[in-house]
Structure 1
Amino acid sequence: GGVQHFLYPAEVFPPTDFHTATLLDDAILLIGALGYPEDRREGETQVLRLDLDDFSIRPVETRGENPGWIHGHTTERTDAGLRVTGGKIEPGYRDRTEAHLLDPTDWTWHRLG
C-alpha cells in the first residue's frame, strides 16, 4: 500500500471548502464552496466534476435557476437528480430556505421551493 497525492493548480481546482461530493456514475460531482471572498460569484453555483478514470477536474456548465453561491449545504442523489438543500448563500452568509434540483442528464437547475 501507499498514499498518492494529486495536486491541482487553483485555476483547475479552486477551493471547495464546505462543498458536497456526490458519486455520479464514473465521477464525483462537487457542488458549492465557500472559497475566498474575491473568488465568490454571486448568482452562480460552483459545480466541478472529478473524473474517476483519470482524476481530471473540470467545471460543469449548468443552466436554469441555480441556488447561487452556496456552501454548508446537503446534496442527496434521487431518481430525479441531485437535490440540494440547506446551507448558506453569499453574499451575507444568509440561510437558504429553498431546495434545488440539478438534473445531470442536461445539467439544468430547477428551484423546488
Structure 2
Amino acid sequence: MVYATVSYETFQRQKYPKFGHDNPHPMNFEFWLYMVETGYSAWEAREEFGCTNKLREGPIWCFQRHGMSSTVLPDGCVVHIGGEHEEYFDPDYCIYNDVVVKHPNGEINIYGYPMNFFQPSHYHSATLVDNNIYIIGSLGYQQDRVLGETRVFLLDCDTFEMKKLNTKGENPGWIYEHSSEYIQEKNCLRIEKGKIITFDTDSEGNSENDKNVYEENQEVFLLNLTTKQWFAVKK
C-alpha cells in the first residue's frame, strides 16, 4: 500500500520510536510505513506536520539512516536492520533496534524487539547463512557498550525472531564498520577490517579513565558457527 500522506492525528499517535514488547513484535504503524515509503527525514516529517518548534519532545521515527545493514534474501526480500538517524547533538538523533522487511511486491513489514532481546545497533555486519542472518558487532550507544565483548545475534528470517548467541574464545572486542564473509567449507564467519573500541590505558595496561579509544582493526577473526568459538588468525 502506498500512502499519499497520513493524518495529523495518526502522526501524533505514532511519531516516536519505541521498543517492541514481543520477539518479534509486528509494528506496521501507518506513519512508520509512510516514512519507509517516502524516505523522508525526520525534519521533513516535522515540516509536513507542523512541529518544527517542538524539538524537545523526542526524536521522530525515521527510516533515513546510516549504519543500517541491508540483506537480500533468496526470495527477493530485503531485510534492513537497525541504523542511526542524525548525530548525537540533533533532536532527532536515534539508533534503532528494529527490522524492516521490503518484499518484492511492495509489501513492508516492520518488527520491533524488547531492549533485552536486541539493543539499538548500527555499523554492524549482517551475513546470510541458510535462512538466518548473523548480526555481529555494532557501534551503538555509548552506555550500551561492553568493551572487550563482541555482540552476536541471530535473526531467523522465517519467523524474524531475534536470538543472542553466547560465544567464547578470542573475540575482536567491541567492533564496528567491519566486513563479514561466510566460509562454507569451515562453517565459519571471517571478520576483518573495521574499528575496535577499547579503554584508554597507562603504560602498564591499567585503565586511567573512562575515555574510549577507537583503533583500526589489524587482525582477522573467525567465528565457528558450530562451536560458537572465536579464533584470531594471523594475516
Q: Which residue of 1 aligns with 2:165?
A: 60
1:82 aligns to 2:189 (yes or no): yes
| Paired residue secondary structure (2:143) | helix
**Counterpart AA for 2:223:** L
Q: Measure how far apart 1:15 and its partner are.
A: 1.5
Q: Which residue of 2 aligns with 1:111?
A: 232
**1:26-65 correspondence runs (5 A):** 26-65=131-170
- Between structure 1 and structure 2, the one with the greater Rg is 2
Gaps of 5+ in 1: none
C-alpha RMSD of matched pairs (Å): 1.0
Q: 219, 225, 230: which is aligned to 1:98?
A: 219
Q: 1:41-97: CA deviations, max 9, x gaps?
A: 111000000011211101100011000000000001112210000000012111000
| Paired residue secondary structure (1:5) | strand
Aligned residue pairs total 113
Higher share of residues assigned helix: 2
Identity of aligned residues (%): 41
Between 1 and 2, higher relative CO (CA 8 Å, sep ≥ 6) is seen in 1
Q: Which residue of 1 aligns with 2:35?
A: none
Q: 1:4-41: CA deviations, max 9, x gaps?
A: 11111222111220001011123110000001111111
Q: TM-score, normalised by structure 1?
A: 0.94
Higher share of residues assigned strand: 1
Q: Where do 4+ consecutive residues of structure 1 move more than 6 Å?
A: none
